A and B are shown apart, each in its own frame.
Chain A
Amino acid sequence: MARVLEVRDLAVGYGDEVVLDEIAFDVDRGQVFAILGGSGSGKSTLLRTLIGLQPPLSGRVHFTGIGPPALALTPPRFGVLFQSSALFGSWTLLQNVLLPLQKWTTLPADAAFAVAMGRLRLVGLDRYAHHLPSEVSGGMRKRAGIARALALDPPILFFDEPSAGLDPVTAAELDELIRALSRDLVVTIVLVTHELPSILQVADQCIMVDRAAGGIIARGAPRELADRNVDARVQAFFRRQPLPRTS
């Protein structure tokens, strides 16, 4: 399988503060790759570094086939769903999805409208196209964020906690949507999550990061990690148990 993303010796953090160190992994085309870890373990920091919003402290992030992650000058090659959805609050969902199309394609207005409506239909929101983000639920905002991320058909999608904070049914629907995207659109998806059902449902491969360990503590297929990994932290995570206190 063709490789899309190579990460080697990566250290991420803020200024002098190293949050995660010695990060190395590969993502193959068409995969759903999950980055797991508890709250505050540095998942968002790692994701922001991968997409080039934050400089790596050291090491490298290499995208094969789609060039280096340059921002601003070229059409974005990643679709990103931010943890807070980050929809523009004064714009309707439709206008949010239209923005990248207007900026980066030469589509006439009615064609851009058709594409944007298509994206919203894909995530089941076409009936809410003319609502403001504040007028729809959190799960709908997440889905609208996905529709916006999909707008330009990027080869890689990055999702930060797509199903966090949603009810189980909505979360399951979102997982199903992610599976469908991966299957039908043949995109590569890198997602960050701490939601167990999501991981087992959706991910092909995963790594688990830990703030105390300052790096990756486990890697593999999620089912294998859940069933066979002997690390206490990994087991605590998958069994939803508190870690025994050591100090």
Chain B
Amino acid sequence: MTATTFTLQRATTADGRLRVELGGRLTLTEGAQLWRQLQLALRERPAEIDLAGVTRLDGGSAALLASLVARQRSGGDGVEIVGASKEAGRLLRLYDCARGGDCAREAPTTPGLLREVGAITHDLFSSARAILAFVGDLAAGLAAALRRPRSVHLTEFGRLLERTGADGVPIVLLINFLVGGILALQGAIQLHRFGGDQFLASLVGLSIVRELGPLMTAILVTGRSGAAFASELGTMTVNEEIDALRMLGQDPQRFLVFPRVLALTIAVPLLTVLGNLIGVFGGLTIAWWYLRQPTTVYLQELTRALDLADVGTGLLKSVSYAVAIGLIACQRGLATRGGAEGVGRSTTSAVVVALFMLVVIDAMWTWVFSALGW
């Protein structure tokens, strides 16, 4: 045990009971030792704690002392503090547990694993319900907004479009180019074995335009704009800015949600078109470099394989992705509770829920399109 600047000794009182004598400097620096030694000593049920030898007592040690004494008393063992100097007495009175409730209570413990899992499951269901209710509200709001289009706040719209669309162009181009290239390389290796080189363009073209272009672009937009919207609206909620907006007679949905969803509905299909083009170009690069295929052959095959329905279904998907991302991100943001941590939680939740929904929507469309024969 390390030497401490305080001392704790046991003595007997006049009527033969135990007296704990503290001396020296009682400070928070040695609070842990003081706490342990005093706890041990108190198990022997002393009648009094003598502070006559104490040269210095700081607030923290006074709080420790007061808390231990209160615990002892609530356990039915009376213990008196004696010999305190005038200053020490004042401090002890300040921290005296008789002035408040919670003194003798134990520190709260952290919840167990099972409880956490339960809480998370419960959260998931309640967030699904909240998003549905939000969509209902929004539909009602949309009807009202269509009747009075000018009630929608569009001054930010240009900036939003720039942030969600234009600023996202480089990363969308890069990722889609790489995805097109990787897809083409994987395909080319297989097709070459069977002498099917000329089908590479249709493989890449169809996969990109119908499926991967819209999906990859939407995933990128989720990470960029979805997260941004959720944290932005979340911070506004935490700072009471949303309440302020309501009090200023602005409906947060028309003011914040509509412009964002609208910006995404315009930006995401446009980004998808760019993504499709560069993805197909990524395939072309591989065809030319790996299969030594003339560019004209690739392009001819591409125009033969793709028709308008392929492009159209892809864009239809991307519009529905955009709406889903926008709604989920805004709802999660507006549902933020607590402080900075709450903002983090709703941002995570927005991204996770949106990614999940993208896959669900994709599956739904694929089913619908195949039923319709598109």
Contact = CB atoms under 8 A, between A and B. Distances in A.
Interface string A143-169: 000000011110000000000000000
A107 interface: yes
Contacts of A109: 107
Interface string B350-372: 00000000000000000000000
B95 A91 contact: no
A171 interface: no
A68 interface: no
A134 B243 CA distance: 13
A115 B60 CA distance: 6
Interface stretch (A1-9, A35-43, A124-132, A213-221): A124-132
B339 A111 contact: no
A117 B32 contact: no
B21 to A, nearest CB: 21
Nearest to B36: A108
Interface string B320-345: 00000000000000000011111000
Contacts, number: 113
Nearest to B27: A153
A126 to B, nearest CB: 4
Chain A interface: which size bin?
35 or more
A27 B59 CA distance: 22
Interface stretch (B96-104, B176-184, B222-230, B291-299): B96-104
A185 interface: yes
Contact of B94 (A89, A110, A152, A180): A180
Contacts of B63: 114-115, 117-119
B123 to A, nearest CB: 16
A127 B99 CA distance: 11
A106 interface: yes
A70 interface: no
B238 to A, nearest CB: 6
Interface stretch (B64-72, B126-134, B211-219): B64-72
A165 to B, nearest CB: 15
A115 B28 contact: yes
A74 interface: no
Given A150-B59, A184-B91, A121 B338 contact: no
A153 B28 contact: yes
A110 B60 contact: no
Nearest to B344: A90
Contacts of B62: 118
Nearest to B70: A114
Contacts of B29: 105
Interface of A: 88-91, 105-115, 117-119, 121-122, 124, 126-127, 129, 132-134, 150-153, 180, 183-186
28 contacts: A88-B339, A88-B340, A89-B339, A90-B340, A91-B339, A107-B31, A111-B32, A113-B107, A114-B103, A115-B64, A118-B60, A118-B63, A118-B64, A118-B67, A119-B59, A121-B97, A122-B94, A124-B100, A126-B103, A132-B338, A132-B339, A134-B238, A150-B59, A153-B27, A153-B60, A180-B94, A184-B90, A184-B94
